Amino acid sequence: MAVPESVIEWKPAKLLQSREIAPEFALLVLNQPLRNSHNLRKLWRNSSLRVAADGGANRLHELSSFQGKFSNLQVIIGDLDSLHKDVRDFYSSQPTPAKVIHETDQDSTDFAKAITWIRKERPAGLDIVALGGIGGRVDQGLSQLHHLYLFQQDPAYSQGRIYLLSGSSMTFLLKKGSHRIRVRGDEEGAASVFGKYVGIIPFKGPSRITTSGLVWDVSDWQTEIGGKMSTSNHVQPDVEYVEVQTTEDVLFTIALGKVDSEDES
């Protein structure tokens, strides 16, 4: 069935499947703990641009199974107060050295510096997968969610979409309007990329939402922090798409199909 042009389509599973079907995107590694997981390796292979925000380079380098698998990092950017000297030397000494960019602006985070640089280099718009999750300190987690709003002001996502990937979920911003999200893998026979748990979070302010494809669908339902929220909802077992209509911007978060075990091979 044809989808009206006014509905925004999402196919995030493609990012975590084969290179042949993955759209072009930049991988941005934040300064958060990493595991040498199946998803990390998929993203690394599929990405067209690989950037570390300051200490994110340390996280890549310190993976327990590090054997040069992530040595072809292209850019390290930030105020560089967290970047270890030996890590900088390592990435600067590769056959294709990483470009190290020192941005001294103290009014923006390393996350923001990296997004700004990517968009300057790719002005036509490039999707960004920010890897690092929202675990750890609460203020850092809220800052990461804040950046999803800060850098996606355009309702048409003309500068590219931003996905925040943790070890257990993917989160992205649904702008005011109608959205259709494919929640199954796009490759025949592929295991489901996503699990059943879904949340729709009105982080910025109250909204009214209508959903389809969830176990507990709602219609013209007011949601707000301090009021009602759709958390720990479930995707219906046999649906391929979840549809969301929202009167204001909301965060959509969906569990990954499995938490990858650390691979020491």
Q: What is the DSSP string of 82-147?
A: S--HHHHHHHHTSSSPPEEEE---TTS-HHHHHHHHHHHH-TT--EEEEES-S-S-HHHHHHHHHH
In terms of pLDDT, which residue wins out, 197 or 36?
197
Report if residue 11 sits inside a domain. yes
In total, the chain counts a number of residues equal to 265
Kindly report which listed range (33-42, 117-126, 186-195) carries the lowest average pLDDT score: 186-195
> Is 103 inside a domain boundary?
yes
What domain range is 252 assigned to?
Answer: 7-256
pLDDT at 184: 87
Q: Which residues pair with 27 in a beta bridge?
A: 50, 129
pLDDT of 86 > 90? The answer is yes
Q: What is the pTM of this model?
A: 0.92
Facing residues of 254 across strands? 170, 198
Assess if residue 185 is contained within a domain: yes
- Can you tell me the distance from the alpha carbon of 122 to that of 193, in angstroms, rounded to the nearest whole number? 28
* pLDDT for position 190: 52
Summarised one tens digit per residue, pLDDT across range 30-66 is 998 888 788 888 999 999 999 999 999 999 998 855 6
User: How far apart (Å, rounded) are the C-alpha atoms in residues 171 and 57?
Assistant: 22
- Let me know if residue 1 belongs to a domain: no
The answer to whether residues 26 and 129 touch, using CB atoms and an 8 Å cutoff, is: yes
Asked if the structure places residue 261 within a domain, the reply is no
Residue type at 205 in one-letter notation: G
Separation CA 137–CA 27 (nearest Å):
22
Q: Give a yes or no: residue 88 inside a domain.
A: yes
- d(C-alpha 16, C-alpha 186), whole Å: 10
Look at the alpha carbons of 197, 201, 206, 207 in this order and tell me if their dihedral is positive or negative: negative
Tokens of 110: 């390393």
What's the CATH code of the domain at 99?
A: 3.40.50.10240
The dihedral through the CA atoms of 252, 256, 261, 262 has a sign that is: negative
Distance, in Å, from the CA atom of 10 to the CA atom of 129, rounded to the nearest integer, reads: 14
Specify the higher pLDDT residue, 162 or 137: 162
Q: How many domains does the chain have?
A: 1
Tokens of 139: 């203020």
